[in-house]
Each structure stands twice: as structure tokens, then as C-alpha cells.
């Protein structure tokens, strides 16, 4: 599998390519299927989740599929009810309440494992399957806020008000995500990614004291290669090594050469085309891909991806141009 070879830092004739949110709203076949199923229905029905996961692979012949699910899904296995309207909404909790949540019960999210098994059975042997989870600090942000926020003041205040309880709560979520990721590996995932969507709102000190050890708890006992992705936080890159992941994703804010300089040459890096480029035209897309590849300079360990999830308004022909350019078919 090309993705696994890149994670092992093996020299390749081209980088593997997959992209975040590749199974989603920019695809007409996804919208057709979603017209018959709500988001939660799609996530909870293994045959539907598997079909959505496979759609971009059939269309673009990518090097990896990522299971269709949501970072909030495993919270169900801790007794948390989450609604989507359209983003995640839940009853806000206190930091003490999060620390008292029950331990993760894997049988409650068996539908994710079943979807992974179905996808793995359909994928070609050389296409990797990626499992994923939300990082503990990001999930804690949602649990305390009750949904999305620009500043997540509830989280930042809780870290400063009672650091010991915050660490206890993060440990609880970290152990749960470790179990959830291993469930996906056991079902057939070849690698797993930890999405730390809101780590970038933290100070360096709070990242090092809270987010980093919790993320390490989620990843340290995994039996497959791991990827850690924390967008919006270039100031955190020099500290990523403490997470203990195999590879690190970076967003579009820094050139890849600078990101490698901050992280260290020994780590694979995933990224980092600006998703906004996919709103332009095929020629501009091909040019932007060439710029990213030039930054990577052919070094081992580069995984081509977007710097964040694909925008739902991205024309399919622009996505195809991106994939073809990476694969060398558009040059």
C-alpha cells in the first residue's frame, strides 16, 4: 500500500494521495444517497456508511479510503447524546461531569466496526483504509461548550480553573479514543488519524500541558501507523513530536519545507494544498499541486492531502485535476 510505504519513509515515484472529507457533499452520488438518509442514519447504517466511503475511491482511484463517520460518534459509547443540526449539538457539561463519564463501551459503536469490515472487503489490496477519532482536547471543547464555537472559552477557562480535574477528564476521553481507534484497527483499518481540530486555539503552554499528553494517550498503544492533524496552529508544530504519532498533517499556512524544518526531517508529513484552490479552475489546481510537490521536493514520507477538509462547493472536475496532477497524469 502506497500510503503505508510513505508512512515508513520509503522512497516512492510519487506521493500517495487522499484528502479529508473526500466522502461528502461535493459528490453528486453522495447527495443522492443523503437525500434518502439523514447524516446520523448514514453513520449508523454500516451498508450506507460503507457505500459513502467507497464513492470517492470509485471515482478518483485514490490511494486510501477514510471511513465515513464523525468525531462525535464514539461519545455515544460513553453515554453522551449528540444531535446534528447541521453541526454537532449536545447538552453542555462541566469539567467534573466529563471526568465522571462512564468508560468507553465498544459494543455501542459496533456499527463503525461493521462498516470498516465491509469497506475493507471491497477495497483493492493496494488501497489503505483509514480509521479516525477526534483528539481528546477537541472533544472536550465540544463537551463543555455544547457545540461549535469561535473561541471555546468554556474549555480554556476550565483548563485554567482546575488543571487537575481537566487532566482527569482528558485522560478519560484519551483512554476512550484509544479503545475506539483499536476497535477500528481490529475491524480492518490499516492506519488511523487523530483529528485535533481545536488544538490551535490553545497557548503553547496549554497545548503542552493538556492537549499533547491526552493525544499521546489516544495513540501510544495503537498497532498500526498513526497520523496526528491539528490545523490552525503553526505555533504548535515544534511540539508535535511529543504526541508520538508516526506522521503529522499540516494545514496550508506554512510551506511544507518550513513545516519539516519545525517538525524534523525524520517524520512523514501529510498535506497541504489550500482547499480554496479547488474553487478555481483545473489549470490553477494543477499549478498549485505542482507548487506543493516542489515544496516536498520528492523527499520520502510526503503524503499529498489538502490542508483541511474539502469545501462542499468544489467542482468535481477540479478535484479530478488535483488527483491526476499528483498521479502524474496531468503533466
Q: Which of 25, 59, 175, 284 is catalytic?
A: 25
Q: Which of 30, 63, 120, 142 is catalytic?
A: 142
Active site residue 228: no
Q: Which of 21, 216, 286, 327 is catalytic?
A: 21
Active site residue 70: yes
HEC profile for the chain? CHHHHHHCCCCCCCCCECCCCCCCCCCHHHHHHHCCCCHHHHHHCHHHHHHHHHHHHHHHCCCEEECCCCCCHHHHHHCCCCEECCCEECCCCCHHHHHCCCCCCHHHHHHHHHHHHHHHHHCCCCCEEEEEEECHHHHHHHHHHCCCCCCCHHHHHHHHHCHHHHHHHHHHHHHHHHHHHHHHHHHCCCEEEEECCCHHHCCHHHHHHHHHHHHHHHHCCCCCCEEEECCCCHHHHHHHHHHCCCEEECCCCCCHHHHHHHHCCCCCEEEEECHHHHHCCHHHHHHHHHHHHHHHCCCCCEEEEECCCCCCCCCHHHHHHHHHHHHCCCC
Q: Which of 59, 70, 162, 284 is catalytic?
A: 70
Active site residue 239: no
Which position has the grid cell 470498516? 116
Active site residue 186: no
| All cell numbers assigned to 209 | 500541558
Active site residue 34: yes
Which position has the grid cell 467507497? 54
Q: Which residues are catalytic?
A: 21, 25, 34, 70, 142
Amino acid at each position: 500500500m502506497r500510503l503505508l510505504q510513505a508512512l515508513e519513509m520509503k522512497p516512492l515515484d510519487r506521493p500517495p494521495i487522499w484528502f479529508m472529507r473526500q466522502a461528502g457533499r461535493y459528490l453528486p452520488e453522495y447527495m443522492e444517497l443523503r437525500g434518502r438518509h439523514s447524516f446520523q442514519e448514514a453513520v449508523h447504517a454500516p451498508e450506507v456508511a460503507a457505500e459513502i466511503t467507497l464513492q470517492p475511491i470509485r471515482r478518483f482511484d485514490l490511494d486510501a479510503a477514510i471511513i465515513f463517520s464523525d468525531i462525535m460518534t464514539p461519545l455515544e459509547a460513553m453515554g453522551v447524546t449528540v444531535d446534528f443540526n447541521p453541526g454537532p449539538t449536545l447538552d453542555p457539561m462541566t469539567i467534573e461531569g466529563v471526568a465522571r463519564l462512564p468508560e468507553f463501551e465498544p459494543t455501542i459503536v459496533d456499527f463503525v466496526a461493521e462498516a470498516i469490515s465491509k469497506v475493507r472487503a471491497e477495497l483493492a489490496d493496494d488501497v489503505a483504509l483509514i480509521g479516525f477519532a477526534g483528539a481528546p482536547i477537541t472533544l472536550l471543547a465540544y463537551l463543555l461548550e455544547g457545540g461549535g464555537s469561535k473561541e471555546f472559552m468554556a474549555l480554556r477557562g476550565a483548563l485554567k480553573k482546575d488543571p487537575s480535574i481537566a487532566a482527569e477528564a482528558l485522560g478519560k476521553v484519551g483512554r476512550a479514543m484509544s479503545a475506539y481507534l483499536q476497535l477500528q484497527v481490529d475491524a480492518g483499518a490499516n492506519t488511523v488519524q487523530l483529528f485535533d481540530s481545536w488544538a490551535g486555539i490553545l497557548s503553547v503552554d496549554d497545548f503542552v500541558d493538556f492537549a499533547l499528553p491526552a493525544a499521546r494517550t489516544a495513540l501510544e498503544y495503537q498497532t498500526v501507523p498513526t497520523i496526528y492533524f491539528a490545523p490552525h496552529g503553526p505555533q504548535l508544530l515544534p511540539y508535535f513530536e511529543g504526541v508520538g504519532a508516526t506522521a503529522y498533517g499540516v494545514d496550508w499556512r506554512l510551506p511544507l519545507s518550513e513545516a519539516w524544518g519545525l517538525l524534523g526531517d525524520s517524520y512523514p508529513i501529510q498535506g497541504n494544498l489550500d482547499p480554496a484552490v479547488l474553487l478555481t479552475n483545473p489549470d490553477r489546481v494543477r499549478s498549485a499541486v505542482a507548487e506543493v510537490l516542489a515544496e516536498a521536493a520528492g523527499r520520502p514520507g510526503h503524503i499529498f492531502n489538502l490542508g483541511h477538509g474539502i469545501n462542499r462547493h468544489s467542482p468535481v472536475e477540479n478535484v479530478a485535476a488535483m488527483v491526476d496532477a499528483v498521479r502524474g497524469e496531468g503533466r
